[in-house]
Amino acid sequence: MMTSFFDQFASPSYLGIPLIAIAIALPWVLYPTPSSRWINNRLITLQGWFINRFTNQLLLPLNVGGHKWALLLASLMIFLITINMLGLLPYTFTPTTQLSLNMGLAVPLWLATVIIGMRNQPTAALGHLLPEGTPIPLIPVLIIIETISLFIRPLALGVRLTANLTAGHLLIQLIATAVFVLLPLMPTVAILTAAVLFLLTLLEVAVAMIQAYVFVLLMSLYLQENV
């Protein structure tokens, strides 16, 4: 029974062909295509309003040089939100529960921010490794600690997204299994458990959106240090 709980995180395949590529590409099909007309429907208007509000909020602390990342960060945000939300539907697969995918997103973007900082302002980028006013005996230790914390950043991004989504899916499956087991034995307890399951599902919807926002927000903060 315990192994079956983790079967939902196994990458699905059909005739030996991994289907994770379809799961990653599917969200792009669901987005409405903007038109050149002056008057759009409500869905396109809502999509445009959401993207504008998010982009303004995300790029507020960045200078003009960081605004070049607006399209990339906004697209990544919408992509992660859509994948996380679709993963809450029954009989679906959530690609962002795979650490390999999240690290594949986190490492190149983090590395790009580091390279930009080293190219544009190497003194300031290296200055982050040593806080101002550090006592001389602590300089080697702090440099080592700050270097380790710098290289841990992409790992923290990927693990945070993976762990939160995986824990939420496991909790939903555990409580749903408890509801089916308790229904013929103790209907009242089963109904109360189902209410808890409904509230947990609402919480997971919020977590799916918040974790996507946190992923992109931290990436923008890393970018802020290097532009």
Tens-place pLDDT, residues 95-141:
888 888 899 999 999 999 989 888 888 887 787 787 777 788 888 88
Which two tokens mark 75?
Answer: 């697209």
Residues 142-176: tens digit of each pLDDT? 888 888 988 999 999 999 999 999 888 889 888 98
Query: Is 88 or 34 the better-scoring residue by pLDDT?
Result: 88
Q: What pairing do the DSSP bridges indicate for beta strands 13-14 and 17-18?
A: antiparallel
**In the predicted model, what is the mean pLDDT of residues 12-25?**
76
pLDDT higher than 70, residue 219:
yes
17, containing H or E segment: strand 17-18
Q: Is 87 a residue whose pLDDT tops 90? A: no
Q: How many CA atoms lie within 13 A of 219 on its CB side?
A: 28
Asked whether the predicted pLDDT for residue 28 surpasses 90, the reply is: no
Q: Find the mean pLDDT for residues 50-74.
A: 82
Contact, 207 vs 168, CB < 8 A? Answer: yes
What is the pLDDT, as a whole number, of residue 142? 85
Rounded CA-CA distance 12/10 in Å is 6
Which pLDDT belongs to residue 152?
Answer: 93
